[in-house]
Structure 1
Amino acid sequence: MAFMKSALLVCITAVAVLYLPILWTKPLPVLISGTTAPGFEPVLQLYRENFANGVEYPIGGSAFSVYYKGSKVVDIWGGYADSEALRPWMENTMAVVFSTTKGVAATCMALLVDRGQLDYDRTVASYWPEFAQEGKENITVRMLLSHEAGLPYTSKVITQEILGDQEALSQVLAESPPVWEPGTAHGYHTLTFGLYASQLLRRADPKHRTLGKFFKEEIAEPFGIDFFIGTPFESFYRVGRLTGDISGVVATLLKGMGDPLNREIVYAMIMGTNKDLATSFERFSLNAMENYRRAEVLALENPSAGGVGTARGIAKLFGILANGGQTIGGQRLLSEDVISKFIGESKAPSLDRTVGIQTAVNLGYTITKSDGVEQFGHPGSGGMQGRADPQRKLSFGYVSSYHSPFGLGNDQRFLTLQKATYECVQQIEGQ
């Protein structure tokens, strides 16, 4: 009996310690900052409402930015970079953007194409002879960047040590065989896309730089893009502390079962039609979300999912692309001819054998449709986004420290703001 009383006392004490403080914890004040150009004020108002009505998560922070016809028209941020430390989201706060990094990497590859140093229709092996192993000799650059190469995972596990050693990484990638016959299907190269792209870029670039260094020297610094692929230790203090659904891919998907896309993926996993997805994560040792809280992990170049930046930086980059490849000051990043290929040469949506849903991907970008027009860009795990609408010369960047269950472009935090932005543009253009 004495034992039972002691056990009951321990349980009551544990409950009190864990849950009673919540009853006396006051909600954190909502902090919203930033600016909008005339005509875009409804976007800021909706952003405030999203924090008030629970669309935005109260223990996280976020930022949203829009460029229109080359000019920044929305630049807003709110919430907390670290709610536990009461550190508010600031103008220069960055976030881990996961697969939105792929869209940045694709832009680096396009820049090489524009310079005549890379050809989408030549074989990867013509630049990187070692790549021809295991039946990969006929894989073209286009196939690789469009997720058609059959290389969603490697034959060996990519460890932190391998990721930090370019020669060791190059060998593992070159030795890995295709999972399916290249060119016959597309399947999301979740954690290998950027690794292969970087090794290819090293061979095609006359200076033999890694993709992260190439991006820094050729795009980020010349165009003022606040984004890193390989975050310097001295900039780590600016990164919002990752929180939210970071317990694992399956658990995250299950938490988002209210969304049709998440249900499709879970169903595909149950039916075994996207078995490559699980193996993709098994073969990459840093896939656990907790790793992306570590400075030494973010310092590594991971062009598939390790990019860090501001919403402003992402929107600015895609804004240049949406504006015909140049800034309003006339500084050119890409030619209109190359940019026209991103949507113009894309295929209709078809079954992605890795993810298990219908997707359209081309040359490293995902192709989507909003407000009746096509966009190119890339979503990121947890709700991150970077998108360009070349028809309206419009671009979007959304980042958050809160990792939501929605990583396929289906996060309402972004979608509501995007919808409000299009409504503002329609009003401005008199449509």
Structure 2
Amino acid sequence: MSIHFSAWLGIILGVSCFVLGYLYSLFNYLQPQMSGSSSTQFKHAIHVYKDQIQKNNELGSSFSVYYRGEHVVDTIGGYVDKRFRLPWVTSTISQLFTVSMVVVPFSFAKLYQDELLDIESSIQHYVPQFVVANVTVSDLLTHQSGFPYFVGHASLAKWRDDHRNALNDIINQIPPVLPRTQVFHLHSMALLSDAIVRKVDHKKRTLARYFMEEIAWPLGLDMLIGIPRTQLYRVARTYHANALSVFSAILHLDVTYPWKNLVTAGWLPYSKERNMALNVFDDYELYYNWNPDLLEIPLVSSHLFTNARNLARLFTLLENSDKLTNTTVSDNIPFVFKKSIRNWMLQVVNTSSYDPVLHRYLKLSSAGFMVTNSPKNTLMFGMWDDILGQGVFIDPQLQLTWAYVTNHAHARSLNKDFILNSLIDSVYSCIKE
């Protein structure tokens, strides 16, 4: 009797889940929207992206690929705001959250190349109030300063209005983590890096201003660090992880996603380091902040707004011009990184180790790029956001650069992200090497 009842209960639950899923899809179905282009060689990548759009897996995003100096994939799809069915367009930009950190390695590499910064000098040399004498700029770039977060309260609004006193309030303390221990930095990286740039730059610019004036604007990149009110109309609305996204991940056999959402929940003890790193400011919540006064602040740990086309274009600065099949990219850029600087930026400095903030294994380069393996087992260097699942990476061996920018959360694991992983696999399948 109990077996018979259990069988019927299983059937009823299965049918109920199917009906509920169908009704949810019916009432939330969005007409597929997509535009873009690709070279003949990378046509398969466009088809895979189109498939994600048609299945409504992809709410809204942009995807772009460079290969050997040529822009081979450039596509957008989905919606900026599903409530009002506003389609994603070429001028749409999205908040990059932790991918915003790409500003730091590019800016410090430029300062290093211009001999304005010695990466082996101590942080204390540039920021005297920093309490640890033997921690270098290189240690900071590789997330080993000892300050993945700060003990005590910090205010983003105060940092905007009085950065010196705000910085003094938080770095004149014993490091919460043993220096030269790798623990991912987020807002602490932004504040310390900004203080160093203000010190070494002849014009005393902020880190954000330096990056925009020295790198982004000369390249003609559509990027903003801190979004003014007049530009908010271009920004895609952000959809963070919820019960439905967790259920969707389970249907795609991605158990890592719900597990990561569980172990990083604020009410569980496992999440202490992550929450402290993400919530440095007591007046700013990383996930749900939409206060225009705070969004205007040039915070390089989370306030970079752009799209995949411009993000991928930025990373073409790391291409080896000797291997390019044409000079499309190298002829149009206002400066290039010297070979020695480029090699330094792409030098792997550690083996993969478990990070208590990201809750995953992390390998880094000297400049602070994340390092991972491609489907062809080559190394990719870049930055991946485990809040929404955005990313940008360059494969220097294959001279391949890809960027993906989205407005909805769908992964906390690069290898298990059913959208991004399918796009990466499709791109690499187009390369016959």
1:296 deviation in Å? 2.7
Equivalent residues of 1:81, 1:89 under 8 A apart: yes
Is 1:309–2:306 an aligned residue pair?
Answer: yes
1:137 deviation in Å? 1.5
Partner of 1:395: 401
Partner of 1:154: 150
Select which of 365, 382, 393 maps to 2:369.
Answer: 365
Partner of 1:11: none
Distance verdict in 2 for CA 1:410–1:217, change over 3 Å: farther
Mean CA deviation greater in 188-197 or 386-395: 188-197
Partner of 1:89: 88
Distance verdict in 2 for CA 1:402–1:378, change over 3 Å: same
Work out the CA distance in 2 between the residues paired with 1:150 and 1:274: 18
1:384 deviation in Å? 0.8
Equivalent residues of 2:109, 2:345 under 8 A apart: no
Distance verdict in 2 for CA 1:193–1:246, change over 3 Å: farther
Mean CA deviation greater in 254-263 or 60-69: 254-263
Distance verdict in 2 for CA 1:33–1:130, change over 3 Å: same
Deviations along 1:102-123, one digit per CA (max 9) or x if unpaired, are: 1222211111111111122111
Work out the CA distance in 2 between the residues paired with 1:305 and 1:224: 21
Instruction: Provide structure 2 residue ranges, at least 5 long, that are not aligned to the other structure.
Output: 1-20
Select which of 344, 348, 357 maps to 2:351.
Answer: 348
Select which of 217, 237, 244 maps to 1:241.
Answer: 237
Work out the CA distance in 1 between the residues paired with 2:168 and 2:246: 33
Mean CA deviation greater in 269-278 or 64-73: 269-278
Work out the CA distance in 1 between the residues paired with 2:246 and 2:202: 42
Identity among equivalent pairs (%): 25
Partner of 2:188: 192
Deviations along 1:260-299, one digit per CA (max 9) or x if unpaired, are: 47647856989956632232234333234221x3433321
**TM-score, normalised on structure 1?**
0.84
Work out the CA distance in 1 between the residues paired with 2:147 and 2:89: 39
Deviations along 1:332-378, one digit per CA (max 9) or x if unpaired, are: 23222112123324211123243343211232211111021111110
SS at the partner of 1:189?
Answer: coil
Work out the CA distance in 1 between the residues paired with 2:400 and 2:358: 28
Distance verdict in 2 for CA 1:152–1:409, change over 3 Å: farther
RMSD: 2.9
Work out the CA distance in 2 between the residues paired with 1:348 and 1:239: 37
Deviations along 1:372-412, one digit per CA (max 9) or x if unpaired, are: 11111101121111111111111111111112342656422
Select which of 381, 384, 387 maps to 1:379.
Answer: 384
Deviations along 1:229-285, one digit per CA (max 9) or x if unpaired, are: 1223322211101124279xxx98898673447647856989956632232234333
SS at the partner of 1:192?
Answer: helix
**What letter matches 1:280 in structure 2?**
A
Deviations along 1:41-81, one digit per CA (max 9) or x if unpaired, are: 1111111111223432xxx3101001112221111000101
**What letter matches 2:50 in structure 1?**
R
Equivalent residues of 2:93, 2:236 under 8 A apart: yes
SS at the partner of 1:388?
Answer: strand
Work out the CA distance in 1 between the residues paired with 2:402 and 2:263: 31
Equivalent residues of 1:242, 1:401 under 8 A apart: yes
Equivalent residues of 1:382, 1:405 under 8 A apart: yes
Work out the CA distance in 2 between the residues paired with 1:379 and 1:359: 11
Deviations along 1:138-167, one digit per CA (max 9) or x if unpaired, are: 110011111111111113323231242222
Work out the CA distance in 2 between the residues paired with 1:103 and 1:82: 26
Work out the CA distance in 1 between the residues paired with 2:263 and 2:255: 12
SS at the partner of 2:402?
Answer: strand
Work out the CA distance in 2 between the residues paired with 1:366 and 1:46: 25
**What letter matches 1:150 in structure 2?**
G
**What letter matches 2:79 in structure 1?**
Y
**What letter matches 2:150 in structure 1?**
T
Equivalent residues of 1:375, 1:390 under 8 A apart: yes
Number of aligned pairs? Answer: 397
Deviations along 1:157-185, one digit per CA (max 9) or x if unpaired, are: 232312422223322343243112211x2
**What letter matches 2:379 in structure 1?**
E
Partner of 1:41: 43
